[in-house]
Amino acid sequence: MLLPLTVCSADTAMVLAKQQGVTLDQALQQVKKQQQGKVLAAETKLQQGVSVHVIKVLTEEGRVKKIRINAVQTR
């Protein structure tokens, strides 16, 4: 299963919509496949009533990117 990802800088909050039942482990595996760099942290947070997986990646250029993936389907 391929999951679309949105990558943004650490100070920008972007959340992917229309994800259905994505576990933190699934989100991590997809990020590792599609992003180069080192995963610094991964957690699931409740943001505005929505469960969101937040994964921080240190890029090869030394920048921290924050990737947010909805844990449940939204409409």
Question: What is the per-residue pLDDT for 72?
Answer: 86
pTM score, whole prediction: 0.68
In this structure, the strands spanning 7-9 and 50-58 are unpaired
Chain mean pLDDT for the chain = 79
C-alpha to C-alpha distance for 38 and 60, rounded to whole angstroms? 8
Return the residue matching tokens 């844990």.
71
pLDDT band per the 50, 70, 90 thresholds, residue 66: very high
Reported confidence tier of residue 20, pLDDT bands at 50, 70, 90: low
Of 65, 63, 62, the C-alpha closest to 54 is: 65
Model pLDDT, residue 23: 93
Q: What is the pLDDT of residues 36-47, one digit of tens each?
A: 999 999 999 998
Residue in 2, 12, 6, 7 with CA at minimum distance from that of residue 59: 7
